[in-house]
Amino acid sequence: MEITTRMEFDAGHRIPNHKSTCRNLHGHRYAIEVTISGDIINQENESDFGMVMDFKDAKDVIKRLIVEPWDHAFIVFEKDLEVLDFLNSMKDHKTIVFPKVPTAENMALVAFDILSQAFLKEFKGLIKPINVRLYETPNNWADAS
């Protein structure tokens, strides 16, 4: 069975070598949808009876690992030294240093990797994310699985 939950956050980024305006510092209202796969719990005495997992529990994991760290942060590519130096000069700025250029595609991949590792550790592979969809705008998104 598969379930999907959605959360939103705001963040800034830039695509350093982009041919157009995305090379400028800017932000988006992102949405992340995470699809989780697992068996429906059939033990009648369990809190999650009839569910793959409680949506609140899924959201708690996503919120802790993705939404809270990335919300109202500036996500910067680790090799974008000009912007990284600028952000580091600001006192108490919320900066996320990314191993890849922070495109929607790469952000979806990083989120998928983070969540996959956490679900494996927490749920022993019985429940796992199978897809992360990251909306950069309401009409543009990337899927990682």
pLDDT tens for each residue of 36-49: 999 999 999 989 99
Q: Residue 7 contacts by C-beta under 8 Å, 6 or more apart in sequence?
A: 31, 32, 59, 62, 63, 66, 67
Query: pLDDT class for 87, splitting at 50, 70, 90?
Result: very high
The two three-digit tokens of residue 73, written as one number:
């942060």
d(CA 16, CA 21): 10
Write down the mean pLDDT value for the chain.
96
Other residues' Cβ atoms within 10 Å of the Cβ of residue 36: 24
pTM of the model: 0.94
pLDDT tens digit sequence for 5-59: 999 999 999 999 999 999 999 999 999 999 999 999 999 998 999 999 999 999 9
